């Protein structure tokens, strides 16, 4: 399994993986295209996990002020619980370690227990709740934060 920076040519793969994961954040083609527009790359991390050109998962993160926001992470349903999500998270943690705050934050649906367990295993801690944050269906968001400087570097 290989993890590399995604390119515009990977957009169909990102969309396919995301469409197959109901609990993932859902974006339009335009939003994916904007990830790669001029200048956007300096404050984004878009990583693709693949094996022999078969896409297995991806991660999108954005540098905001001194922090990194994990915007989406998806692993193909057949490939979950094999450590791919954790492997995708590692380069983001290493990048965030060099940022001013060394912090990664994210929001997740309260009911998305697999993702919450995944984030907690990685060391994220609950740092807030956003009432009615999500629509279709309406739901609260749990905010998680990780100070990567308190984690062991890998």
| 8 vs 114 by CB, closer to ligand COA | 114
Kindly tell me which residue out of 112, 142, 144, 146 binds ligand COA, with binding defined by CB under 6 A: 112
Longest Cα–Cα distance of the chain, Å, equals 42
String of contacts with ligand COA for each residue 73-102, x by CB under 6 A:
xxx----xxxxxxx----------------
Span 124-143, contacts to ligand COA by CB under 6 A: none
| Of the residues 35, 60, 108, 148, which one makes contact with ligand COA according to CB under 6 A | 108
DSSP structure class, residue 122:
T
Stretch that binds ligand COA, among 6-14, 36-44, 69-77, 96-104 (CB under 6 A): 69-77
Q: How far is CA 18 from the centre of its chain?
A: 11
Residue whose C-alpha is closest to residue 62's, from 38, 45, 75, 77? 45
Question: Which helix (H) or strand (E) covers residue 39, if one does?
Answer: none
Burial of 101 (0-12, 13-18, 19+ CB in 10 A): middle
Instruction: Determine if 118 is a binding residue for ligand COA (CB under 6 A).
Output: yes
Using CB under 6 A, count the residues that bind ligand COA.
22
Count CB atoms within 10 A of the CB of residue 107: 18
The nearer residue to ligand COA, 117 or 150, going by C-beta atoms, is: 117
* Omega within 30 of 0 (cis) for the link into 27: no
The site for ligand COA (CB under 6 A) is made up of 21, 23-25, 72-75, 80-86, 108, 112, 114-115, 117-118, 121
């Amino acid at each position: 399994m290989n993890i590399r920076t995604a390119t515009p040519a990977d957009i169909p793969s990102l969309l396919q993986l995301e469409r197959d994961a109901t609990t993932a954040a859902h974006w339009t083609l335009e939003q994916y295209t904007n990830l790669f527009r001029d200048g956007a790359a300096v404050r984004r991390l878009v990583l693709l996990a693949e094996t022999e050109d078969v896409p297995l998962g991806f991660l999108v993160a954005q540098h905001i002020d001194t922090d990194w926001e994990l915007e989406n992470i998806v692993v193909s349903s057949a490939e979950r619980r094999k450590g791919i999500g954790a492997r995708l998270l590692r380069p983001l943690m290493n990048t965030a370690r060099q940022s001013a705050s060394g912090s990664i934050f994210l929001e997740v649906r309260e009911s998305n227990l697999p993702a919450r367990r995944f984030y907690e295993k990685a060391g994220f801690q609950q740092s807030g709740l956003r009432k009615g944050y999500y629509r279709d269906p309406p739901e609260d968001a749990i905010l998680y934060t990780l100070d990567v400087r308190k984690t062991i570097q890998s």
